[in-house]
Structure 1
Amino acid sequence: MMDHPTFERENQERVQAVESSFHQAGKPLSKPGRILIGEGTVFKQGRKKIQQKILFLFTDILVYGSIVVPGRWYKKQKIIPLEDIELEDLEDSDIFKHQWLIRTPSKSFFVSAPSYEEKKAWIEHINECRSSLMQGTSRKPSKKFAVSWIPDPAACKCMRCLSTKFSGVNRRHHCRNCGFLVCNSCSKQRAVIDHIHPTKKLRICSFCYKNINEEKFRDRGDSAGKSSSEEEEFCPSGEENEKVEEGEIGLYSPSNWLDTKNGTWERLSIYDYPKSIPSQ
Structure 2
Amino acid sequence: MVDRLVNSEVNARRMANVEQCFGKMGEPLNQFGRVLVGEGVLVKMCRKKPKQRQFFLFNDILVYGNIVISKKRYNKQRIIRLEGVQLEDVEDDGGVKNGWVIKTPAKSFAVYAATSTEKKEWMQHIQRCVSDLLERGNKRAATEHAAVWVPDGEAAKCMECGRTQFNVVQRRHHCRNCGRVVCGNCSSKTHKIDNLKKKPVRVCDTCFSRLTSSSSGQDPSVSGTASSDNDQNPNDSSTDSDEEGNHNDRSMESRPTFYPEPQDETFPSSSNVHQM
Q: Determine the C-alpha separation between the residues in 2 that align with 1:103 and 1:24.
A: 28
Contact 2:55 2:63 in 1 (8 A): yes
Once the two structures are superposed, residues 95-137 of structure 1 have per-residue CA deviations (whole angstroms, 9 ceiling, x without a partner) of 3111111000011100010011111110010111111111232
- What letter matches 1:10 in structure 2? V
Alignment-derived partner of residue 202 in structure 1: 201
Q: Determine the C-alpha separation between the residues in 2 that align with 1:266 and 1:208.
A: 52
Q: 1:238 to 1:143 in 2, by over 3 A?
A: closer
Once the two structures are superposed, residues 199-223 of structure 1 have per-residue CA deviations (whole angstroms, 9 ceiling, x without a partner) of 121111111111111112xxx3x37
Once the two structures are superposed, residues 19-64 of structure 1 have per-residue CA deviations (whole angstroms, 9 ceiling, x without a partner) of 1111111111010111101000010111111100000000110000
In terms of mean alpha carbon deviation, does 7-16 or 73-82 score higher? 7-16
Unpaired segments of 5 or more residues in structure 2?
none
Contact 2:67 2:242 in 1 (8 A): no
Alignment-derived partner of residue 77 in structure 1: 77
Contact 2:10 2:262 in 1 (8 A): no
| Deviation at residue 230 of structure 1 after TM alignment | 5.1
| Deviation at residue 245 of structure 1 after TM alignment | 4.0
- 1:254 corresponds to 2:255: yes
Q: Determine the C-alpha separation between the residues in 1 that align with 2:145 and 2:76.
A: 22
Once the two structures are superposed, residues 45-104 of structure 1 have per-residue CA deviations (whole angstroms, 9 ceiling, x without a partner) of 111111000000001100001100000000111000110100012221203111111000
In terms of mean alpha carbon deviation, does 250-259 or 39-48 score higher? 250-259
- 1:265 corresponds to 2:268: yes
Alignment-derived partner of residue 277 in structure 1: none
Q: Determine the C-alpha separation between the residues in 1 that align with 2:240 and 2:132.
A: 38
Contact 1:258 1:266 in 2 (8 A): no
Please list, as runs of the form range in 1=range in 2, the aligned pairs for 1:222-237 lying within 5 A after superposition. 222=217, 224-229=219-224, 233=229, 235=232, 237=234
Please list, as runs of the form range in 1=range in 2, the aligned pairs for 1:47-196 lying within 5 A after superposition. 47-196=47-196
**Secondary structure in structure 2 of the residue aligned to 1:142:** coil
In terms of mean alpha carbon deviation, does 205-214 or 224-233 score higher? 224-233
The alignment covers a number of residue pairs equal to 261
Q: Which of the numbers 235, 238, 241 marks the counterpart of 1:242?
A: 238
Q: 1:131 to 1:238 in 2, by over 3 A?
A: closer
Q: 1:266 to 1:33 in 2, by over 3 A?
A: farther
Q: 1:268 to 1:98 in 2, by over 3 A?
A: farther
In terms of mean alpha carbon deviation, does 15-24 or 87-96 score higher? 87-96
Unpaired segments of 5 or more residues in structure 1?
270-280
TM score, norm. by length of structure 1: 0.86
Q: CA RMSD in A?
A: 2.5
- What letter matches 1:57 in structure 2? L
| Deviation at residue 6 of structure 1 after TM alignment | 11
Contact 2:8 2:262 in 1 (8 A): no
In terms of mean alpha carbon deviation, does 5-14 or 79-88 score higher? 5-14
Q: Higher relative contact order by CA 8 Å / sep ≥ 6: 1 or 2?
A: 2
Once the two structures are superposed, residues 226-255 of structure 1 have per-residue CA deviations (whole angstroms, 9 ceiling, x without a partner) of 30345773856254x613647452743111
Contact 2:52 2:242 in 1 (8 A): no
| Deviation at residue 186 of structure 1 after TM alignment | 0.7
Contact 1:259 1:266 in 2 (8 A): no
| Deviation at residue 161 of structure 1 after TM alignment | 1.1
**Secondary structure in structure 1 of the residue aligned to 2:16:** helix
Q: 1:57 to 1:247 in 2, by over 3 A?
A: closer
Contact 1:257 1:266 in 2 (8 A): no
